Chain A
Amino acid sequence: MSVLVFAESQGGQFKKSAFEAVTYGYKTAQVLGTECIAICLGEAGNAADLGNYGASKVLSVADSALNTVDSQAYTSVIAQAAEKNGASVVVLMHSATGKGIVGGLSARLNAGSAPGVNQIPTNDGAFRVKKNVFSGKAIAEVELTSDVKVISVMGNSFQPEVVGSPATVETFAADVPAARITVKSVDKVQGSVPLPEAEIVVSAGRGMKGPENWGIIEELAELIGAATACSRPVADTDWRPHHEHVGQTGVAIRPNLYFAIGISGAIQHLAGVNSSKVIVVINKDPEAPFFKAADYGVCADLFDVVPRLIEAFKKRKANS
């Protein structure tokens, strides 16, 4: 028996989420009294490093066909590794890559699945794990009854924890199926932190009045290493790109800190951001519903407050 963790890489480096996944897999393996094995596909980071987070060994499939994400190929190779290593639980991240694989993998392995979990499973007679449902408005406890189980973990739910030392790396001889998807071009968002992985997010809404006013939002975000986001009408009117749209019909995020600036806090918006650990709301309307979901509130004109906040952060930086 084992817990098999897929550690995602990007551009030949492990993503922080790879370490989150291994930390989750290690803790799950402890619950089940077994070992945690990691697998990396294509051009990956330094595979032995995954041992630091609790992997007892790392399987590496360095086939260049796996440098691009082909859900079928990934599903097939991870399924082969799960079968060879008697995995009872397969752990993925609930990232774009993970979401592309989680369904296919559970169908392939005839495995019950829990996509988007945010807690470590329990195993007292039954294997159960919790996940958010109704776009973060509720939590469901899911019981998985199959021999093999597939779990995908919400990003930023678990911080990577160093518990061990570098692991041995084994080449895993997988049968990589021929690609049925050809990649024509890749267009990465340059420079900024990808929204779903960001620990701090600065988000703004219609209160900004127009796209020409976003300078202060970008300046604040850059200053504190945050990703930028927006409400749906802002993306729909092309003030900001669509990939910044957060909420029930946009990206769901759970950063450590979420700034909501000139956003009213409609229920559909809150649904995608209410799992954020700390929420700061800046809005001139004292009745704005967002204040009910906030930890810290500033009720004033954002065009006065945001520049002041930028100055305050600059001062703190200079003094530290």
Chain B
Amino acid sequence: MKLLVCVSKTPDTTAKISFNADNSEFNGAGVQYIMNPYDEWYALVRAMELKEATGGTVTLINVGPAENDTVIRKGLAIGADDAIRINCNPKSSLYVAKQIAEFAKDGGFDIVFCGKETIDYNGSEVGGMVAEYLGMPFISFASKLEMDGNGATITRDIDGGKETVGVATPFVVSAAKGLAEQRIPNMRGIMQARRKPIDVKEPVAFDDLSTVVSYDMPPAKAACKMLDPEDMDELVRLLHEEAKII
């Protein structure tokens, strides 16, 4: 099987979020970057497991600048065979999806994996966009995926529960928690990753249809009101009368 895994780079979950002086751009100074957890822990690891079970190849694709190579190398250390980087500074999901689809359309991939969302822009869009451009079915939020016959049986999160569906290859799937267990790359993997190829390609022209014009921080919370642990009637009263909720 030929598997393609879309990987994205995000600030570490503990990164301090701040912006430049006119609030138009994320301030990346001193920020640690990681591979987006949904891409790494679930999408890539499940792709590796399928390769280990049935043979084939796992290719990574990232749409981004040269500094993303460190994140791509981590994916190669986890076991991917090779990687493509589309060399650009993307500003919108549609742009990213277009680049991935352009690369994938003649690649003969059986499954295109991506994470269910990135932890920075929280869009949940790229998978569906790639599927639409490729004319493939899209299964969102997969928490289980087993190959059978000429397709797969996939359990996905739906509103208020789970649903199990069957789909023939090729398809695009977005990975949610449960699809696989996080793997820590070992020394051998890290050494091998250094010799694996990252093929750099230039992007196809595509106009952004959405751009972030400014950033802002959420309004600061008022100080926490500490209550007497003996008197929960008071908490219930405050929720009712002050917060007007219960």
Contact = CB atoms under 8 A, between A and B. Distances in A.
B94 A113 contact: yes
B124 A112 contact: no
A243 to B, nearest CB: 7
B167 to A, nearest CB: 5
Contacts of A312: 232-233, 235-236
A128 B214 CA distance: 10
A298 B125 contact: no
B239 to A, nearest CB: 7
Given A249-B38, A295-B224, A308 B125 contact: no
Interface in B120-170: 120-133, 137-141, 143, 153, 157-168
Contacts of A248: 13, 119
A294 B128 CA distance: 36
Given A100-B138, A180-B168, A299-B229, A95 B218 contact: no
Contacts of B216: 130, 138-141
**Quick one: which of A107, A136, A274 has the most chain B CB within 10 A?**
A107
Contact of B141 (A96, A116, A131): A96
Contact of B132 (A108, A116, A182): A108
Given A106-B125, A242-B177, A181 B139 contact: yes
Contacts of A197: 159-160
Given A181-B137, A182-B165, A189-B161, A200 B93 contact: no
A57 interface: no
A131 B167 CA distance: 33
B132 A75 contact: yes
Interface in B10-58: 11, 13-14, 17, 19, 37-38
A72 B233 CA distance: 51
A250 interface: yes
Contacts of A174: none
A1 interface: no
Contact of B37 (A110, A133, A182, A249): A249
A133 to B, nearest CB: 6
Interface in B88-142: 92-94, 97, 116-117, 119-133, 137-141
Interface stretch (A33-41, A142-150, A157-165, A206-214): A142-150
Interface of B is mostly: mixed
Interface residues of A, number: 99
Interface residues of B, number: 78
A101 B132 CA distance: 10
Contacts of A245: 177
B205 interface: no
Contacts of A313: 236, 246
A37 B127 CA distance: 28
B212 to A, nearest CB: 5
B132 A107 contact: yes
A198 B169 CA distance: 36
Contact of A145 (B121, B131, B157, B209): B209
A68 B27 CA distance: 43
Given A180-B168, A305-B229, A103 B214 contact: no
Interface in A105-140: 105-108, 110-116, 128, 130-140
A311 B232 CA distance: 8
A187 B163 contact: yes
Nearest to A115: B123
Given A107-B133, A139-B216, 12 more contacts: A68-B163, A72-B138, A75-B132, A101-B128, A108-B132, A140-B212, A146-B210, A186-B158, A249-B13, A296-B239, A298-B226, A312-B236
A-B CB proximity, top 10 nearest: A103-B128, A112-B209, A300-B229, A103-B125, A112-B210, A194-B160, A107-B132, A188-B161, A100-B140, A104-B128
